[in-house]
Amino acid sequence: MSERIPDRVREEVLKLRTLDNCPNMFDINAVMRMAFDNGLYHLVDYLQSDANRAVYATFIMYGDRQ
């Protein structure tokens, strides 16, 4: 079974995607900067781990499909 992105982080990813000037969601540094600037601190914290970045990338590519 593959790891899933936590619900709180998922919510923040979806919120970030609705903002004006949303960065390329695979540009982790830009995502982290914009998330921080918009108070999405769970997402920033989550993306600081390389293991979590792989789960994040899978979520960005495939969504919630298992």
3-43 residue pLDDT tens: 899 999 999 999 999 999 999 999 999 999 999 999 999 99
> Cα(first)–Cα(last) distance of the chain, in Å?
9
**Residue 58 pLDDT greater than 80, yes or no:** yes
Cβ–Cβ < 8 Å for 2, 66: yes
Q: What are the angstrom distances between the C-alpha of 17 and each of 1, 2, 24, 51?
A: 27, 24, 9, 22
Dihedral pair phi/psi, residue 42, rounded to 5°: -65, -40
pLDDT grade for 45, boundaries at 50, 70 and 90: very high
- pLDDT at 1 (0 to 100): 41
